[in-house]
Structures are given as structure tokens and as C-alpha cells.
Amino acid sequence: MAAVKFVISGLVQGVGFRAAVSRCANSLGLSGYVRNNADGTVTAVAEGPEEKLTVFEMMVRNGCGSFARVDRVEKSPLEEASCGPAFQIR
């Protein structure tokens, strides 16, 4: 299992982006969470097999089928996320 943190910038709040990210993660069987940040960005932490995290990253970069406009995605590997069994919206 691997874990990755994404900080997503653009028009990503108020457009259903967190729910879309959650649907994408759940469709891949990933655990983790997505949350809004005070600066207008969104953070997503995902944990699962490397190949599924790669697919998830591509989905996030494309807005996960929402009305979001993703301008930038900062990706950081995490040593251990301990996200639990499901993906949550926080």
C-alpha cells in the first residue's frame, strides 16, 4: 500500500469537487479523505495500490467529472496515512 497527498488549486470549491473526488476514490477502492482548505484549495489524501493511485491522480487532474477547473496539483508521497477502510469527505 502506498499513500499520497494532493493539494489541488483552481475552481475547486463550491462546484461539487469534493463529492466527485470521493466518487472517483470509491470507484477505485481507495481509502482516505478530501477536504476544503481555507486558502481555496482542496486537499485529498489517498491510500491504496500504486497503480490505482496513478489512475486516481489522472482523474483528479481532470476534475473527476465535476464542474471544477483544476489549474494545479501538488503531489507529495506520505510515509503512512492510516486512513481507515473508506474514503471520506471532511
Active site residues per annotation: 18, 36
Rounded to the nearest 5°, which phi and psi values hold at 56? -60, -45
Helix (H) or strand (E) holding 38: none
Which residues face 3 on adjacent strands?
47, 78
Cell of residue 5, nine digits: 497527498
